[in-house]
Amino acid sequence: MDTEFWMPEGTGPVIVAMSGGVDSSVVAWQLKQAGYTVEGLHMTNWEDDDGYCSAAEDLQDARRVCDQLGIPLHHINFAAEYRDRVFQYFLDEYAAGRTPNPDVLCNREIKFGVFADYARRLGGYAVATGHYARLRPGHHGVEMLKGRDPGKDQSYFLHAVSAEQLATAAFPIGDLVKDEVRRLATDAGLATHRKKDSTGICFIGERPFRDFLSRFLPAQTGEIVDDAGNTVGEHHGLMYYTMGQRQGLGIGGRADASDAPWYVAGKDLESNRLRVVQGKDHPDLYSGAVVCDAIHWINAAPDALENGARLTAKIRYRQTDQRCTVRREGCGVRLDFDTPQWAVACGQYAVLYDGEHCLGGGAIDRVEALPAHTETAATG
């Protein structure tokens, strides 16, 4: 089998991050078929055995696939590192009224941080994962491209990984679409070929989000107010809500309001008030620009930043690329969008692209409201 993916040069085994899912299973099979010396490494990042996290089942599935392929499987526990480097950030952001994305830090700090370090101690010269993204050599180090499958592309979650970390990484399924990965797993008879994709964050699993978060952060009820300052309900704690949220507000029909649905339009931490508006096209749900106070460039920053670089950005996973002008602002950047953006949440990431090339990104720290009388149109 010819390899169609980029691989770093080196000697020794390639260590595959065996999650117990079909993607990493196919990665290990691909590399074995291509003649590489392959070893598997499964990591545990969460230890609460409460029936919601599938860590034990995932380890068994990884073991079954490695047995099928005749490769060794190592197991390491990074629960302490995960709590210190990822989960504490997750809690701090929610406590500050923001909406974090822990998967970004997990990739940088755990998968391509302590996990890659441990893989090197095992003698591995490269770490291969089941991410849907692509790598190529560039003038300023290894560059990252979007995955070939637009519905599975994971470059958004990988934008904070450095070029140095990517230099010893491999994404063998980045040139494949998910259906092809499933077909390869089925044809190879891999034990995980029918396993469903995991969704969400492992430590939350399928449990109610509010129940989980309340175990770690105290909640304080407060008023829900409309755009005129009228009290229309009571919230259960600001941390449970995010921009654009419609479900779970508990606002019934009101004689002084229309039948249009209510949406979260803002939080006031000082007064502990949740602000809501009616109608998805309400101007208060839209913004024209965002500012990231810090920005991570995978390679070199674009030269055009000083005068305004024309790029695209995603402000949430699976959003279509949004055209914008990007300029330096302090140590970060300002993004002025061509089209008003709907329900932008501080704490989420703005990730920048030049075509298929993922340039980097940063957490959104400020959101700029639209000028008055600007027409709005919902963006995905």
Q: Tell whether 123 and 255 lie within a shared domain.
A: no
210 within a domain of the structure (yes/no):
no
197 within a domain of the structure (yes/no):
no
26 within a domain of the structure (yes/no):
yes
Q: 202 an active-site residue?
A: yes
Q: Tell whether 57 and 143 lie within a shared domain.
A: yes
Are 311 and 331 in contact by the 8 Å Cβ rule? The answer is no
Number of domains in the chain: 3
C-alpha torsion sign, points 292, 298, 299, 304: negative
339: buried, middle or exposed (CB in 10 Å: 19+, 13-18, 0-12)?
middle
Q: Tell whether 274 and 297 lie within a shared domain.
A: no
> What CATH number has the domain bearing residue 254?
2.30.30.280
Q: Tell whether 180 and 51 lie within a shared domain.
A: yes
**DSSP one-letter string for 4-44:** -S-----SSPEEEE--SSHHHHHHHHHHHHTT--EEEEEEE
Distances (CA, A) of 29 to 22, 62, 164, 188: 10, 12, 26, 8
Q: At what angle do helices 22-33 and 55-69 cross, to 10 degrees?
A: 20
C-alpha torsion sign, points 76, 77, 78, 82: positive
Mean pLDDT value of segment 315-339: 96
Q: What is the pLDDT of residue 104?
A: 96
Q: At what angle do helices 22-33 and 178-187 cross, to 10 degrees?
A: 60
pLDDT in tens, 23-36: 999 999 999 999 99
Distances (CA, A) of 31 to 20, 39, 86, 268, 344: 16, 10, 30, 52, 40
Q: Tell whether 158 and 33 lie within a shared domain.
A: yes
Q: Tell whether 174 and 89 lie within a shared domain.
A: yes
Q: Tell whether 273 and 311 lie within a shared domain.
A: no
Please name the helix (run of DSSP H) or strand (run of DSSP E) that holds residue 315, with its range, or none.
none
Token pair, residue 314, equals: 């995603």
213 within a domain of the structure (yes/no):
no
> What CATH number has the domain bearing residue 341?
2.40.30.10
Q: Tell whether 49 and 66 lie within a shared domain.
A: yes
> Which range, of 107-116, 188-197, 253-262, 326-335, averages the lowest pLDDT?
253-262
Q: Where does the pLDDT of residue 209 fall: very low under 50, low under 70, confident under 90, or very high at 90 and above? A: confident
Domain boundary among 187, 205, 228: 187
Q: Tell whether 51 and 121 lie within a shared domain.
A: yes
> Using alpha carbons only, how large is the chain's radius of gyration in Å?
22
* Residue 37: partners with Cβ closer than 8 Å, 6 or more residues away: 12, 13, 14
151 within a domain of the structure (yes/no):
yes
Q: Does the pLDDT at position 1 exceed 50?
A: no
Catalytic entry in 202, 324, 346, 358? 202
Q: Tell whether 234 and 142 lie within a shared domain.
A: no
Q: Does the pLDDT at position 200 exceed 80?
A: no
Domain boundary among 278, 295, 318: 278
Q: What is the pLDDT of residue 54?
A: 75
6 within a domain of the structure (yes/no):
no
Q: Tell whether 244 and 297 lie within a shared domain.
A: no
C-alpha torsion sign, points 51, 56, 61, 62: positive
Catalytic entry in 106, 292, 324, 358? 106
Token pair, residue 253, equals: 């029909």
> What CATH number has the domain bearing residue 42?
3.40.50.620
- Note the pTM of the prediction, 2 decimals: 0.93
Mean pLDDT value of segment 214-223: 93
Residue 105 CB neighbours (<10 A): 20
Q: Tell whether 83 and 68 lie within a shared domain.
A: yes
**Percentage, residues of the chain above pLDDT 70:** 92
Are 288 and 371 in contact by the 8 Å Cβ rule? The answer is yes
**Segments forming the whole domain that contains residue 25:** 14-187
